[in-house]
């Protein structure tokens, strides 16, 4: 890890202040607190808009929470690269056929603390089936899954229960999807 201008003692508090004010002005509230576990996979749904990303970052800054997230490799090119990495971004090259699940399990094994936010839809478009990579990452890393959400009609973001994957993906996914059944994204 290398030092950047973003690591100065004033940047995070300034971004927290801006986030708290911005969320209040926009009418958004955080339900509950970030889970205290040192390692977990955080899924965020529904994911229907580009606005989900800055809103999630604002909530994280306001709550003094550090999360990591996976983004397409093109986001990390050029001058935006260091900023995206500082914001917790992990570049993913979707054109290569390598096991992202195995790479993330290894990252959890190496880390003392790690929270990776993953939208289960895998896209901002409406989908009938969620991607299951988040589940297999949590199962392989032996970490819980935190159910996080943004509900646009109520302007609330927050957390549901933490769940330990049982290995029965059908049963676990039924419970996860039931939690999200009343949450609505910006679109759809």
Could you read off the pLDDT of 147-183 as tens digits, one per residue? 988 999 999 988 888 999 999 999 999 999 999 888 8
User: CB burial class (10 A; 0-12, 13-18, 19+) of residue 8?
Assistant: exposed
CA distances from 28 to 57, 62, 107, 151, 154 (A): 13, 11, 33, 10, 8
Secondary structure, 3-state, 5-39: HHHCCCHHHHHHHHHHHHHHHHCCEEECCCCCCCE
Asked, for residue 187, whether it belongs to a domain, the answer is: no
Angle at 126 between CA 93 and CA 168, to 5 degrees: 75
Q: What is the pTM of this model?
A: 0.83
pLDDT band at 2 (very low <50, low <70, confident <90, very high): very low
The residues that bridge with 159 in the sheet, in sequence order, are: 148
What pLDDT score was predicted for residue 7? 59
Asked, for residue 83, whether it belongs to a domain, the answer is: yes
DSSP state, 57?
H
Asked, for residue 32, whether it belongs to a domain, the answer is: yes
Range of the domain at 60: 5-180
Summarised one tens digit per residue, pLDDT across range 155-165 is 998 888 899 99
Asked, for residue 27, whether it belongs to a domain, the answer is: yes
The total domain count for the chain is 1
The answer to whether 116 and 68 are in contact (CB under 8 A) is: yes
Give yes or no for a cis peptide into 46 (omega within 30° of 0).
yes
Summarised one tens digit per residue, pLDDT across range 116-144 is 998 876 544 555 677 788 999 999 999 99
Asked, for residue 186, whether it belongs to a domain, the answer is: no
Cα torsion at 93, 99, 102, 103 (round to 10°)? -20
What pLDDT score was predicted for residue 126? 53
Q: How many CA atoms lie within 13 A of 149 on its CB side?
A: 24
Summarised one tens digit per residue, pLDDT across range 29-85 is 988 888 989 999 999 887 778 888 888 889 888 888 888 988 888 888 998 898 888
Asked, for residue 185, whether it belongs to a domain, the answer is: no
Asked, for residue 142, whether it belongs to a domain, the answer is: yes
Asked, for residue 188, whether it belongs to a domain, the answer is: no
34 token code pair: 């970030």
Estimate the crossing angle of helix 169-180 against helix 133-141, to 10 degrees: 120
């Amino acid at each position: 890890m290398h030092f950047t201008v973003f690591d100065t003692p004033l940047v995070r508090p300034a971004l927290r202040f801006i986030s708290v004010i911005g969320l209040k002005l926009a009418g958004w509230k955080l339900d509950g607190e970030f889970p205290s576990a040192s390692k977990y996979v955080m899924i965020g749904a529904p994911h229907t808009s580009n606005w989900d990303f800055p809103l999630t970052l604002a909530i994280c800054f306001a709550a003094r929470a550090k999360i990591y997230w996976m983004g397409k490799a093109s986001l990390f090119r050029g001058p935006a690269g260091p900023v995206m990495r500082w914001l917790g971004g992990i570049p993913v090259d979707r054109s290569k056929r390598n096991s992202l699940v195995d790479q993330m399990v290894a990252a959890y094994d190496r880390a003392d603390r790690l929270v990776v936010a993953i939208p289960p839809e895998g896209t901002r478009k409406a989908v009938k089936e969620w991607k299951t990579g988040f589940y297999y990452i949590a199962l392989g890393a032996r970490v819980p899954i935190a159910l996080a959400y943004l509900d646009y009609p109520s302007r609330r973001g927050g957390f549901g229960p933490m769940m330990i994957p049982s290995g029965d993906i059908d049963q676990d996914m039924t419970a996860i999807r039931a939690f999200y059944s009343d949450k609505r994204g910006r679109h759809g």
